[in-house]
Amino acid sequence: MEQPLVRPRSLSREAAELRSGSRGPSDHVDRFCGLVERVDPLIHAFVPEPGRHDRLSAGARALSARYPDRAGRPPLYGVLVGIKDVVHVDGLPTHGGSALPPGVLAGPQAVVVDRLLAAGALVAGKTVTAEFAASAPGPTRNPHHPGHTPGGSSSGSAAAVAAGLVPLAVGTQTVGSVIRPAAYCGVVGFRPTYGRIPTAGVLPNAPSFDTLGVFTADLAGAALAAALLCDDWRAREGWAGEERAGAPVLGVPGGSYLERAEPAALRAFEATLARLERAGLTVRRVPLFPDFAEITRQLQTINRFELARSHADWFARFGGLYRPETVASIRVGQGVAAEDRAAALQARERLRERVAGATAAAGVDLWLAPSATGGAPEGLHTTGDAVMSLPWSHLGLPAVSLPAGRTADGLPLGLQVVGAAGGDEALLGRAALLERVLAES
C-alpha cells in the first residue's frame, strides 16, 4: 500500500497539464497550499511563510493574464518550485537555516531563480536546509520514515519532492547534498558539472565545490529542468541518440572507496549491477581511487578553508548564534594555511587528469556507485555520510541519483551515475536506459 507521505509527482506531466489549460495556475496554488497545510507539519520541508497563499495566488493571476494563449506558454508555466533557503529570492528572506538576524544574509535574487521565473515557474517557498548548507540538521523528516533523516543539506527540497508537495525543487551540493538526500528520499537528484548552473545569488559554503542541483520524481523531469537552468544546454533526442551509438559501458571504481558503503548497501549495489548486466550492459571494474584517504584529506582542506573564509565577516559578528557543528567546521578552517589549500587545489588538477585518463583507457562512459553509504539513518541528529559523493564532487563531475531498491526495513537506496565533465546531456540521456532497466526489474 502506498505510504501516505510519499506521493512524488511527474514534473513533465504536470508542466504539460498546466500549459494545456487542463488545470489552471490558481487551482494549482490552492491545491499546493492545502497540501502544505496538511502534510508539511508532518515533515517540515518548507520554511514557514505567513501569507504564502496570498502571494502565490497573486502570482498565479499575473501568470494567467500574461499568457492567455496556450501556444505561447513557457515550459514551466504555473509549476511550483521549492527553493533551498541558501538561494536568494526577491520578497522572501534568506535565513540559511540559521538564527542570524533577519536581513543579515540578504542579497540579489539568484540567477537560477531568474531562469525559473523566466520559464514560467512560481516559487512555492523556501525549503529547509542544514545550517548554511553544512552539517547541522534542520527539522525536516524523511517522508518514507518520519523518524529518519531525509539527508542534507538539501533536506527540505528532497522531502518536498518525495512527498509530492512540489514536482521540482532546487538544492545545492558541496560534497553530497543533492545525491545523498535524493537517495534517502527515493527521488531523482541531479548535480550538474561544477559551474554549469551559475551560483550568483547563493550563499557560499565552499566556492570551489558549491553546485546547484535539482530534485524531481523521475529522470525526464530532471532533464527538463536541466535544459532550462544549465548554461549552453545542447538539446538532445534523449536515449534514442545514445542508443544508435551503442549502449554505454559502465565502470565500477575498485579499491577502498566502495568499502565506505555499508555491507547491505554494497549487496544491493551488486544486485543492481547484476540486473544491468542481465539487460545486456557491460560493467567493468577499474582501479580508480587507490589513494582515497588522500583525496578525502584534500577535499576537506579546501572545504574547511573556504567555509571559514566565506563566513569570516558573519562569524566575527554573530559567531555566538552559530550551531556547534558549524562552529567546529569553521574553527578547523581557520587553522588551515592558504598554501595548504593551494597545494590541495593543485593535487585536484592532477587527480582530474588521472581519472580522465583512466576513464578513457578503460573505455568507460558512465561510472556507477552507491548514492549513499546505506539507507537514511534513524533520528534527526545527523544528515548522513556524504562520502560516496566525495570524489565526484571533488572532481566537479556531473552525477545523478536514481532510485534503486530498498533496505530490509523499507528505506530507499540510490544508484549514483557519474558522467564526464561537461557531459551533462550525455549523462542524462544515457542514464535513461538505466532508469528503465531498474524500473522493469
Grid cell, residue 78, equals 504555473
Annotated catalytic residue 153? yes
Q: For the chain, how many residues are written?
A: 441
Q: What is the 3-state secondary structure (H, E, C) of 85-137?
A: CCECECCECCCCCCCCCCCCCCCCCCHHHHHHHHCCCEEEEEECCCHHHCCCC
CA distances to 87, 89, 190, 230, 301 from 111, in Å: 9, 10, 18, 11, 29
Residue 269 amino acid letter: F
Strand (E) positions, 264-333?
Answer: 282-287
384, three cell numbers: 548522513
Catalytic-labelled residue, pool 12, 135, 153, 157: 153
126 tagged catalytic: no
Indicate if 401 belongs to the active site. no
Alpha-carbon Rg for the chain in angstroms: 21
Q: Is 354 left (phi over 0), alpha (psi -120 to 50) or beta?
A: alpha
Q: Among the options 154, 177, 389, 393, which is catalytic?
A: 177
Instruction: State residue 158 phi and psi, 5-degree precision.
Output: -65, -45
Half-sphere exposure of 155 (CA within 13 A, CB side): 36
Furthest CA-CA distance within the chain: 59
Question: What's the number of CA atoms in the CB half-sphere (13 Å) around residue 414?
Answer: 30
Sign of the torsion angle spanned by Cα atoms 89, 90, 93, 96: positive
* CB of 362 closer than 8 Å to CB of 144: no
Contacts of 263 (CB under 8 A, 6+ apart): none
Identify which of 252, 306, 250, 308 has the alpha carbon closest to the alpha carbon of residue 281: 250
Q: Which residues are catalytic?
A: 84, 153, 177
